[in-house]
């Protein structure tokens, strides 16, 4: 029978209504008898229906405890920003997934905030493993930065016809003792200067990119500069300064220059009677500032490095001619010009004067002691003739033997016997 030997393939499609398992069996009937026949269970099949996993990684809500999200939250918007106050180092982020079957919602970067922009990330993992990231940029306020001053070109000045620039103190260079940093105005420009605690002096650091760079005094009245130099002697430090117009240079000195410890000092030197500078003494007159802020002239001997305050010997006043009733003009006295410099310029003369004064003082004390000792002797007084006379009087009184008194004895009358 042809029908009995023919087979066919049948395809049956089912639509699952829900998740679960379904059992399929195959049954048929005998074509000859019409009896229904059931195949054994081996012809059955079980089909399990699993629905596809969700890929929804959206957030249902997003909020923070600091600031306000900008723009407002929307599940489709992934980038936001907030402003937090100065010093805030933590932001609490609350986020909920739109799909309850989502695997996780993780927040990172919301702690340890610093000044400026801080990214905070919220990562949502969907049921099927896909992810979606929401970013919140937290901008933390910091202290208001101090505006940096606009750099200005260094001021240019002229010193001895050479260009110099006023600059900041180079690294490794210290401010001289007795000076402090300050700001002054020169020609409408503020510069860094160094003022003295005594004496009203002003220093600037000038540079010409050479060995002449260093500290220079600034004279605000004249606008001139001159190099800062100090003279160090045992027990004292003096600062070289220039005398102003009110200072009178003592008579008997001429301008000179001396080099001390590698620094050139403008000074004055005694001159001889012929008007030439005298080199025999080796003494120079300097105008200095001491550590007490006192200005004045000092005598300096370069060979011994001795320094003495200079004290000029005052001149005797010249007589003023008296007016005469006669029309004869009074001859004007010729002023005496002192060509020799003051003896006080010689330190040995000063020492001699001091020793002589001490000798005179000791001589006076010795004489006073001798007079006092003689006045304390016995018998001294207003009628005393002195020590020598007292000695003679005492010796004469001790060695003189008084003679006995002479008595007068009347003799018997013998006139008659004599007459006989």
**How many whole angstroms separate alpha carbon 84 and alpha carbon 140?**
5
**How many whole angstroms separate alpha carbon 86 and alpha carbon 89?**
9
What residues contact residue 257 under an 8 Å CB cut-off, 6+ apart? Answer: 264, 265, 266, 267
**Sign of the CA dihedral 348, 353, 356, 362?**
negative
Beta-strand pair 295-301/306-309:
antiparallel
**How many whole angstroms separate alpha carbon 377 and alpha carbon 395?**
16
- Could you read off the pLDDT tens digit of each residue along the chain, which spans 420 residues? 444 556 667 777 777 777 777 777 766 555 555 555 554 445 567 777 777 888 999 999 999 998 899 999 999 999 999 999 998 999 999 999 999 999 999 999 999 999 999 999 999 999 999 999 999 999 998 887 777 777 677 888 888 888 999 998 888 899 888 889 999 988 888 898 999 887 788 999 999 877 888 999 898 888 888 888 888 887 788 888 888 888 888 888 888 888 888 888 888 888 765 555 555 568 888 888 887 878 899 988 878 888 888 886 544 445 555 555 555 555 555 444 444 444 444 555 666 778 888 888 888 888 888 888 776 655 555 555 544 444 444 444 444 445 555 555 555 544 444 444
Q: Are 46 and 21 in contact (CB under 8 A)?
A: yes
Q: Which of 400, 382, 379 is nearest to 391 (CA)?
A: 379
Question: Is residue 67 left, alpha or beta, with left meaning phi > 0 and alpha meaning psi from -120 to 50?
Answer: left
**How many whole angstroms separate alpha carbon 309 and alpha carbon 295?**
10
**The overall pTM is greater than 0.85:** no
């Amino acid at each position: 029978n042809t029908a009995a030997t023919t087979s066919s393939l049948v395809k049956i499609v089912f639509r699952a209504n829900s998740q679960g398992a379904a059992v399929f069996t195959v049954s048929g009937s005998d074509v000859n008898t019409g009896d229904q026949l059931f195949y054994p269970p081996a012809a059955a099949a079980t089909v399990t229906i699993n629905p596809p996993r969700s890929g929804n990684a959206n957030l249902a809500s997003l909020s923070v405890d600091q600031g306000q999200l900008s723009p407002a939250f929307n599940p489709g918007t992934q980038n936001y920003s907030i402003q937090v106050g100065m010093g805030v180092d933590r932001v609490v982020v609350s986020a909920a997934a739109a799909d309850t079957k989502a695997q996780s919602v993780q927040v990172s970067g919301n702690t340890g905030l610093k000044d400026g922009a801080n990214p905070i990330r919220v990562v949502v993992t969907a049921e099927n493993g896909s992810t979606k990231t929401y970013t919140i940029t937290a901008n933390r306020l910091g202290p208001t930065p101090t505006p940096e001053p606009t750099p200005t070109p260094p001021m240019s000045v002229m010193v001895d016809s050479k260009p110099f620039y006023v600059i900041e103190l180079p690294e490794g260079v210290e401010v001289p003792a007795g000076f402090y940093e300050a700001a002054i105005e020169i020609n409408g420009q503020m510069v860094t200067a160094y003022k003295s605690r005594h004496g009203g002096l002003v220093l600037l650091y000038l540079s010409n990119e050479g060995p002449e760079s260093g500290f220079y005094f600034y004279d605000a009245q004249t606008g001139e500069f001159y190099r800062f130099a100090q003279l160090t002697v045992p027990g004292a430090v003096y600062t070289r300064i220039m005398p102003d117009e009110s200072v009178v240079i003592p008579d008997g000195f001429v301008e000179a220059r001396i080099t001390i410890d590698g620094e050139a000092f403008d000074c004055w030197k005694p001159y001889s009677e012929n008007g030439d500078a005298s080199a025999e003494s080796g003494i120079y007159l300097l105008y200095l500032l001491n550590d007490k802020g006192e200005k004045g002239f000092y005598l300096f001997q370069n060979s011994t490095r001795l320094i003495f305050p200079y004290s000029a010997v005052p001149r005797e006043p010249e007589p003023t001619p008296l007016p005469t009733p006669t029309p004869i003009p009074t001859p004007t006295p010729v002023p005496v010009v002192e060509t020799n410099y003051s003896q006080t310029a010689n330190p040995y003369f000063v020492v001699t004067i001091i020793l002589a004064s001490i000798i005179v003082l000791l001589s006076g004390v010795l004489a006073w002691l001798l007079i006092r000792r003689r006045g304390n002797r016995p018998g001294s007084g207003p009628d005393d003739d002195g020590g020598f006379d007292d000695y003679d009087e005492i010796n004469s009184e001790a060695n003189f033997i008084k003679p006995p008194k002479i008595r007068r004895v009347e003799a018997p009358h013998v006139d008659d016997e004599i007459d006989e």
